[in-house]
Amino acid sequence: MTTTLPGWTHAYSGKVRDLYVPQGTASVESADALLVVASDRVSAFDFVLEPGIPGKGELLTTLSLWWFDRLDDVPNHLVADHTVGGVERIPAEVAGRAMLVKPLRMYPIECVVRGYLTGSGWAEYQQSQSVCGVPLPAGLQNGDRLPEPIYTPAFKAPQGEHDENISFERTEELVGADAAPQLRDASLDVYRRASAIAEERGLILADTKFEFGADKQTGELTLADEVLTSDSSRYWDAEAWRTGATPAARMASFDKQIVRDWLSANWDKTGTPPELPDDVVQRTAARYRELLERITG
């Protein structure tokens, strides 16, 4: 990450992305546009890990832009015209891994949709036979398909803290009674459409998370951040899921599950995480590349 880029000043860094404002702009809120740069950093269990995944930033950005293009009837945060006075606004230094976007009033909610039971949803189901207050049938196993996709939002905690799964009622308290159902319905609609596209390519979109904001001028609900990438979603191989005898065999993933699994086996989640071994880094990078190739062709 560099603190300055031609025409831009660094404003903020998340676990994976770096945010820039136009030089001379007082704040993110007053900017006419923002530059979102995807790094090669990788995070798991709310920690940024070392080393990063080579090429990851460009892979994530390419996949996000492909999905935004396929969902072109869904309002999104991309700025269509990248030039001012004929000059390209995305610096060459970050070309391929940066998006020029418009500022939004972001909702403090991660809009999670689950079509399959796994991850934190599986852990919660084992305790309560529900996920985020949504009751589910008895007898489900890790990796099972749900009768219908479910909306299970999470509260976006400050950096360094854990996101919190919340009920729909809590969402209404956080974003208002009008915005809450809009977020739910838009998330379920995009998930269903994306899931069908993934299925055509021999992939299962097990779950994903979206982030939305309100357009500052019109208030229109707008899809933001990354969308349907291997960082924000779980993709599985459909054939492996159909024929797998165990959850591990069924859930052949195209995301950072390799990283999560290695950490779970080699770290007790206290103190600083260990460095990722080279074979974990390379296998993860290969899965990211394979997902991009399978989805986009």
Q: What is the pLDDT of residues 149-165, one digit of tens each?
A: 999 999 986 655 567 88
Q: What is the pLDDT of residues 251-278, one digit of tens each?
A: 888 988 899 999 999 999 899 999 999 9
How deeply is 87 buried, as exposed, middle or buried, from its count of CB atoms within 10 A (0-12, 13-18, 19+)? exposed
pTM surpassing 0.75?
yes
Q: What is the pLDDT of residues 213-240, one digit of tens each?
A: 999 999 999 999 999 999 999 999 999 9
Take residue 188 and report the two structure tokens written for it.
Answer: 């379920």
User: Can you tell me the distance from the alpha carbon of 178 to that of 288, in angstroms, rounded to the nearest whole number?
Assistant: 37
Element (H, E) at 13: strand 8-13
